[in-house]
Amino acid sequence: MPQGAVGVNTARQLASHGVRTVLFTVAMDAPAIEKELSLYMLTKNRVLNNVSDLPNVGDLIIVALCEDTENPSHYPLLSDWINKNKAPVLALDPPTVGTPGITPKFSLLPVLPLPHSSNNGKLYLCNLGFPVDIFNEVGIKYKSPFGPKFVIPLHPRDD
Amino acid sequence: MPQGAVGVNTARQLASHGVRTVLFTVAMDAPAIEKELSLYMLTKNRVLNNVSDLPNVGDLIIVALCEDTENPSHYPLLSDWINKNKAPVLALDPPTVGTPGITPKFSLLPVLPLPHSSNNGKLYLCNLGFPVDIFNEVGIKYKSPFGPKFVIPLHPRDD
């Protein structure tokens, strides 16, 4: 699932649990994003594509902006808005080098993460629940580190 | 999703969170069940179809055995095994008249439940997270009763 689609999916699930969400999109060309967007629209929550329309306050900013490439795109107006905002920033599976201009407090990573830049904040590994044979099929010897947990911290403990 | 498929899906998700699951099936002819079963097999956990192979002890029995019809099928050997077992029984979206021979402690119901027989134990409504416009499209005026909750009790409070 491309970055943006993950973000739209997250917004929809939060909306379904009663959270007032505002979705800001930069591109909606991928079919997976279009599909997620059409589902999100069913929540009747807002979608914006102008930074100037974004609200001044929020409780949490979730960033799912860039694929993992060496040179992720920079969105200066958007990152300015984020940096002026006091809400904590959570990045979903961000590029390993970080998201240009944005320093999340936390990043949520899928299975078997790459080493990440400290620009991605505190790293948390998410249990996506892949059955063990999926790993066997690609030649990886895997024993789940999660036990009953959904998320495990990968960052060093604070002193 | 047919009853049985819901049960297999649940077993897979529990397995992915480290639970040792034993899946007992009575029929696997529906395509949705076949698909869920092929995913469950990837967990490498057990699948049985003989009651005599079932273990004597367990922590929880999850029942997803019958569609909601007026005369749901009865599986006498299986219900005997369940009734001899001390583990609590949770039914997933059981028939409104109950599952013959089985009296769950709890039942988990999807959106907009029908009235249920007291044979289904304590009723809990599950937040399946349908966006509000899904209800609008079928002419139902809906306001989610869940707030941030995943589940709400429908049964009377104990005295």
The model's pLDDT over B62-83, given as tens digits with 9 standing for 90+, comes to 999 998 888 999 999 999 999 9
- Closest partner residue to A13 among B43, B129, B147, by Cβ? B129
Task: Please count the residues of chain B.
Answer: 159
Provide the CA B128 distance to its chain's centre, in angstroms.
Answer: 14
CATH code matching the domain that covers B3-153, chosen among 3.40.50.720, 3.40.50.10260, 3.40.309.10, 3.30.2130.30: 3.40.50.10260
Q: Does A12 touch chain B (CB under 8 A)?
A: yes
User: What is the reported pLDDT for B159?
Assistant: 57
Name the pairing type of β-strands A46-48 and A122-126.
unpaired
Chain center to CA of B28: 16
Query: What is the rounded average pLDDT for all residues in chain A?
Result: 92
Neighbours of B127 (CB within 10 A): 19
A-to-B residue pairs, Cβ atoms closer than 8 angstroms: 66
CB contact under 8 A, B42 and A133: yes
CA A148 to chain B, closest CA, distance in angstroms equals 5
Q: Tens digits of per-residue pLDDT, A111-147?
A: 888 899 999 999 999 999 889 999 999 999 998 899 8
Task: Quote the DSSP letter at residue A115.
Answer: P
Name the phi and psi angles at B74, rounded to 5: -110, 135
Q: What is the mean pLDDT of residues B9-23?
A: 93
What is the spatial order of strands in the sheet that B151-153 belongs to? B61-63, B89-92, B106-109, B122-126, B151-153
Query: Which of A39, A43, A131 comes nearest B15 by C-beta?
Result: A131
Predicted-complex ipTM score: 0.76
Please choose, from the candidates A71, A73, A63, the residue with its C-alpha nearest in 3D space to the C-alpha of residue A105: A63
